[in-house]
Amino acid sequence: MTIVDILENNAKLYPTDVALVEINPDQPETRRMTWRDYELVEPSINRPHYRREISWRVFDEKANRFANALVSRGIKKGDKVAILLMNCLEWLPIYFGILKTGALAVPLNFRYSADEIKYCLDLAEVDALVFGPEFVGRVEEIAESISVNRLLIYTGMACPSFADDYNEMTAESSSTYDRAPLTEDDYSAIYFSSGTTGFPKAILHRHRALMHSAITEQKHHSQSRDDVFLCIPPLYHTGAKMHWFGSLLSASKAVILKGTRPETILQAVSEEKCSIVWLLVPWAQDILASLDSGALKIGDYDLSKWRLMHIGAQPVPQSLIKRWLEYFPTHQYDTNYGLSESIGPGAVHLGVENVHKVGAIGIAGYGWEVSIVDSRGRQVERGDVGELILRGPGVMDCYYNDKKATSASLKDGWLYTGDMARMDEDGFIFLVDRKKDVIITGGENLYPVQIEDFISSCPLVKDVAVIGLPDERLGEIATAIIELRDGVVASESDIEEFCKALPRYKRPRKIIFAQVPRNPTGKIEKPKLRKKYGAEGLVAAQNNG
Query: Against a cut of 0.85, is the pTM above it?
Result: no
pLDDT of 198 reads 57
pLDDT of 121 reads 96
Domains and CATH numbers, the chain: 56-207 (3.40.50.12780), 439-544 (3.30.300.30)
CA–CA dist 4, 136 (Å, integer) = 30
CA–CA dist 528, 545 (Å, integer) = 18
CA–CA dist 519, 523 (Å, integer) = 5
pLDDT of 33 reads 35
Enumerate residue ranges in the chain where pLDDT < 50. 29-48, 196-197, 536-545
CA–CA dist 208, 231 (Å, integer) = 23
Contact 462, 392 (CB under 8 A): no
Which residues are CB-contacts of 221 (< 8 A; sequence separation ≥ 6)?
246, 276, 308, 310, 334, 352
pLDDT of 75 reads 97
pLDDT of 280 reads 84
pLDDT of 432 reads 80
CA–CA dist 456, 508 (Å, integer) = 13
